[in-house]
Amino acid sequence: MTGRLQLVRAAVAAGVLAAASIGAVSASAAPAPDGPHTRIVGGDIAHTADAPWAIALNNSGSPVPSGQYCGSTLVAANKIVTAAHCSTEAAGTYTAVQGRDKLSDSGGQTSKITSIWVDPDYGKESGHDVAVMTLATPFTGVPTLALETSAAADAEGAASVVYGWGSTEGTGPDDTFQKVAVPVLGDAYCSDVYASEGYTAAGEICAGYKDGGKDSCQGDSGGPLVLDGRLFGVVSWGVGCADAGNPGVYAEVATYSAELQAQIG
């Protein structure tokens, strides 16, 4: 139990540090050498017009000039799902941004956040890295994603896609909406490679490539992992980004769908 708790604490700290280090990485570090762990990794430019439910979750404390902080998903006109580890700041410090491909631009629409619900078991048990935020200004008329409710969706080979504005580790444009296909690798694989980090089969999804090369990364946290047009996962954690043997770990929405839906209404 102690081990599990430490794990959760490490994940929380990693999330906060990751978010805090985005600006430092892009502002001061020389471009990282090209290699398997330097891409967002292996993704493609995406367009919010094609994924209107993907919502950037900016924060006034972000060191990045654009405010880029985390991702999220529109699940009702006034509700977004994000990661619990993205939800530790005061509600008034967040801005949800819809329809803006490049966060340093000013297009699309924005909303402040009026309230935040964080899974009450986050930090007490492993997993549970999910939260729901309420928008001050609903994004009326924007398509939403339904929650995946079947745990059976988390099957090896399932063709899921992750979206975000997070780090490209120097190989792509900063603050720019991207997507990458990450097949489900399965609980057995992450239970093995993340034995010491504490992968939680009942509540997490293991997705990516055993050889690395394509992954979500810092700043993508909270954003959507999509399968069959539903919100399947929430970007949660990994060790590095796109490194061989260290795939991405996502909160499994089906596991938490009842409690999430109760908040969404």
| Helix (H) / strand (E) containing 193 | helix 187-193
**16 to 55: interface string for ligand ARG, x by CB under 6 A:** --xx------------------------------------
Q: Which residues have C-beta within 8 Å of that of residue 23, sequence separation ≥ 6?
A: 62, 63, 64, 65
Choose one: 12-20, 51-59, 117-125, 185-193; the region binding ligand ARG (CB under 6 A).
Answer: 12-20
SS3 39: coil
Q: Which stretch binds ligand ARG (CB under 6 A): 30-38, 141-149, 184-192, 214-222?
A: 214-222
Q: What are the residue ranges of helices labelled H in 95-183?
A: none
Please give the Cα distance from 146 to 229 (Å, whole number). Answer: 8
Q: Is 206 in the site for ligand ARG (CB under 6 A)?
A: no
219 contributes a contact to ligand ARG by CB under 6 A: yes
Give the count of residues interacting with ligand ARG (CB under 6 A): 17
- Distance of alpha carbon 240 from alpha carbon 25, whole angstroms: 14
Which residues sit opposite 59 in a β-bridge?
94
Answer whether 124's CB lies under 8 Å from 9's CB.
no
Q: Is 111 in the site for ligand ARG (CB under 6 A)?
A: no
**111: annotated active-site residue:** no
Which residue among 111, 119, 128, 129 is the active-site one? 129
* Residue 87 in the binding site for ligand ARG (CB under 6 A): no
Binding mask 156-175 toward ligand ARG (x if CB under 6 A, else -) reads ----------x---------
85 is known as an active-site residue: yes
* C-alpha dist (Å) from residue 185 to 118, 150, 151, 194, 204: 27, 17, 15, 13, 12
Given the rule CB under 6 A, which residues bind ligand ARG?
A: 14-15, 18-19, 166, 215-221, 235, 237-238, 241, 248
The catalytic site residues sit at: 85, 129, 221
